[in-house]
Structures are given as structure tokens and as C-alpha cells.
Amino acid sequence: MLFVVGLGNPESRYEGTRHNVGFDVVDRLAKELKIGFRPGRGEYMIALSSHQGQAVGLVKPLSYMNQSGIPVLDIQVRFAVSLDRLLVVCDDFQLPLGRLRLRAGGSDGGHNGLYSIIYHLQSEDFPRLRCGIASEFAPKEKVLMAEYVLDPFTQEERPPASAMVERAKDACLCVLADGLQKAMNIYNKSLGV
């Protein structure tokens, strides 16, 4: 089974913000698979289904971004998931808006949600799909980045952000059906953004 974990913050005031792209992607996956989320046995929402004969679990941690590792560890232990079957989807302020970067592992890259997951799993060896949110509206000073990621997408950003979420959904389904390497070959290509 592949678990796709979308990172975000649970309150309605965070809906539509750049930091909640992970939630947007798993919501889009749930819609595609025609399934709904239900409360999990821990601090997360979960939806279970299959696609092309492959079992898939969609997870939305409810612990807030900076504590994402707690429910991810719970899922990993409860379902005895090997780390290579945990695909974490998150925003990335270092990638241009619309760009995807799928990797088999690596550092947190300054992302607090990934930092928490790495800390709690005691490993960097899990796949992650980073969704670019950097645009002309991004602040140059890193100290202002926390405010930027919690802001909603501007009207100009919404179309490329929506297209990115759709493409990220497709990338997740490709990982499920065809494996990580094939998905990386397809979805890590630049779209000219």
C-alpha cells in the first residue's frame, strides 16, 4: 500500500494558502478516487482506496505543519508501512510556482513539516513531492517567508497553482501505478515556469 501524506494546517482560515498545497493535492486525489476522508485513530484524517489494483491511503495530518511527524509516525507504525511507501506532498518556496520536484529522499530543505517528519521517523529516506509556490510576490527576506506561505494565492497565482495541484495529483497516481522512478522521469521536467 502507498500512503500519500499531504501536509497542511487544519483550520478553515488556512484553506487556499500556499502552505496547504499538500492538503489540496490529497483532496484532489480523494475526488479523483471518489472517496471521502474520515477521522483516523490518531491526529489525522484518512481515506483508503485502490487505483489500478494498487491499494492507496490518503492522509491529512491534523497536528499543524510543524508537528506533522507525530501523525506520520503513527501511520507508519500502525500500518507497518515501509518508508519507501510513504509519499509526502508539501509546498516549496524555493521552487517556482507550478514546478514539481519528486525525490526518493533528502533533507528538509528548510521546510518545517519535513523537518518534523524526518525527526520523528529518524530518517530522510522517504519519497516527497515538493510543489513550487515561489512567485513574484515572494519576499526577498527569508524572515518574511512564514507570513508569505500562510497567505492565500493571489488571483494571478490561482490558475497556475490549480494546474500544479492537478499535475501533482497525476504524479501521485503515477507513483502508485508505475513506481517512483517513472514518475520522477515524467514530472520533474520543467514546464517552462
Q: Band of the pLDDT at 191, cuts 50, 70, 90?
A: low
pLDDT digits (tens, 9 = 90+) for 41-88: 999 999 999 988 999 999 999 999 999 999 999 999 999 999 999 999
Provide the pLDDT for residue 148: 87
Provide the pLDDT for residue 26: 98
Q: Band of the pLDDT at 190, cuts 50, 70, 90?
A: low
pLDDT above 70: percentage of residues in the chain = 98
pLDDT digits (tens, 9 = 90+) for 1-13: 999 999 999 999 9
**CA-CA distance, 30 to 118, in Å (whole number)?**
26
Active site residues: 19
Provide the pLDDT for residue 136: 82
Provide the pLDDT for residue 40: 94
Q: Identify the three-state secondary structure at position 20.
A: helix
> What class does CATH assign to 2-187?
alpha beta
Provide the pLDDT for residue 193: 41
Mean pLDDT of 154-170: 96
**CA-CA distance, 73 to 63, in Å (whole number)?**
12
The b/e string for 153-181 (b: 16+ C-beta within 10 A; e otherwise) is beeebeebbeebbebbbbbbbbbbeeebe
On whether the CB atoms of residues 1 and 85 are closer than 8 A, the answer is yes
**CA-CA distance, 158 to 84, in Å (whole number)?**
32
Q: Identify the three-state secondary structure at position 26.
A: helix
Residue 92 CA: distances (Å) to CA of 50, 96, 101, 120, 134: 28, 8, 9, 20, 7
Provide the pLDDT for residue 142: 72
Q: Which residues pair with 38 in a beta bridge?
A: 46
Boundaries of every domain in the chain: 2-187
Residue 77 CA: distances (Å) to CA of 74, 95, 120, 173: 5, 32, 11, 23
Provide the pLDDT for residue 192: 44
State the cell numbers at 29. Answer: 486525489
State the cell numbers at 45. Answer: 484524517
On whether the CB atoms of residues 20 and 153 are closer than 8 A, the answer is no
